[in-house]
Amino acid sequence: MLAEILEQPAALARTLKAQIPAAKKLQRALAAKRPSLIVLAARGTSDNAAQFARYLLEIETGIPVSLAAPSINTLYGAQVNLSNALVVAISQSGESTDTNFVLERAKEQGAMTVGITNEADSTLAKLADHVLLVRAGKERSVAATKTYTGQLLSVYLLAYALGSRFSLENLERIPDLAAAALTLEPEITTLAARYSFMNHAVVVGRGLNYSNAFELALKLMETCYVVAERFSSADLLHGPIAMVEAAFPVFLFAPPGPTWPSLSTMLEKLDSLSADVFVITDPRNKEAASVRRRLVIPIKPPVSKGLEDLFTPIPYIIPGQMLAAKLAAEKGLNPDAPRALSKVTRTL
């Protein structure tokens, strides 16, 4: 797992270089048939990438985005009219049975379909009209890391194809942002030792980093067996904050930009409860410098007015991935082979 985390800058650069032609081809197809709705189908870590896609695509395109509930098709046999939709399936292996089923039914109804996968010969890659192929190489650890960030990058390319405001030049900086996040490894090793006895936690994110709250919590659950709940800062205040007490671990993604005011309010509330708060941020968020426990990623992403957090999700999740890998080692666990899990999960 740790080796694959360290491969991410190269994997992201490789994915971007190889998939720009595919993104431009998709751009031409979407210009001829612009969708009125985007539907995303995914499971597991890929579903967390879909959460990111929902935010990014709605922010950048104004097109409504929905997350598919595969059980509507697979268990209830309902027919959903997707004829004017763009249906996007996201799967590391490309063999997620119910995700592929959603895509197959959408194609039957005349929807344009896109597959995002790490496997060129997968069922998903053969089924979709257009494929954005993650070039992460073989991922051996059960816990997905480099394929998750590769999926996020592919979502940026999808947004570009749909007419986003950012340029390909902006995306070309992302591998360097990922490399900068990796320089925090010594600090994260120390952090893992501090949390070696943690068995429960809350992870908080909002907006474009909301998906990272889900992803870090998932990594803590599947590799470290930590019961990790995940919330937006708004949802945490609507009841669940009652479980937070003194020394309760809370991990919070705190980029600068539109989400910071609500996150700052959340930090004040958590401080009043004497929670054990740890913040992931970057140097542009000057106000977060007052937080005692924090990781400051040495990045300076390109900035669009009002979207200062636009390019933070990929570098921000990498310290979380490293924390999970190193915490598992501290606990004497093997993060590459969590109990009761396998690399490919097929469900209906």
Domain boundaries, the chain: 2-167, 176-330
253 forms bridges with which residues in the sheet?
Answer: 280
- Homologous superfamily of 176-330 in CATH? Glucose-6-phosphate isomerase like protein; domain 1 (3.40.50.10490)
Number of helices and strands (H, E) in the chain? 14, 10
- Residue 233 sits at the vertex; the CA angle it makes with 279 and 224, to the nearest 5 degrees, is 55
Residue 301 pLDDT class (50, 70, 90 cuts): confident
Instruction: Give the pLDDT score at 6.
Output: 97
CB 156 within 8 A of CB 56: yes
For residues 170-197, give the mean pLDDT. Answer: 95
Instruction: Give the pLDDT score at 78.
Output: 83
Instruction: Give the pLDDT score at 86.
Output: 98
Euclidean distance between CA atoms 278 and 176, whole angstroms: 24
Q: How far is C-alpha 258 from the geometric centre of its chain's CA atoms? A: 19
The pTM of the whole model exceeds 0.85: yes
User: Residue 300: pLDDT above 90?
Assistant: no
For residues 75-83, give the mean pLDDT. Answer: 85
Q: Output 314 or 308, whichever has higher pLDDT.
A: 314
| Mean pLDDT of the chain, nearest integer | 92
Euclidean distance between CA atoms 66 and 64, whole angstroms: 7
Residue 341 pLDDT class (50, 70, 90 cuts): low
Instruction: Give the pLDDT score at 337.
Output: 82
Instruction: Give the pLDDT score at 133.
Output: 97
Residue 72 pLDDT class (50, 70, 90 cuts): confident
Q: For residue 172, report the phi and psi dihedrals to the nearest 5 degrees.
A: -65, -15
**CATH assignment of 2-167, among 3.40.50.620, 3.40.50.10490, 3.40.50.1390, 3.30.230.10:** 3.40.50.10490
Same CATH topology for 2-167 and 176-330: the answer is: yes
For residues 102-129, give the mean pLDDT. Answer: 95
Instruction: Give the pLDDT score at 311.
Output: 95
User: Residue 79: pLDDT above 70?
Assistant: yes
User: Residue 132: pLDDT above 90?
Assistant: yes
Q: What is the pLDDT of residues 245-277, one digit of tens each?
A: 999 999 999 999 999 999 999 999 999 999 999
**Amino acid at position 332, single letter:** G
Q: What is the pLDDT of residues 173-185, one digit of tens each?
A: 999 999 999 999 9
Instruction: Give the pLDDT score at 295.
Output: 95
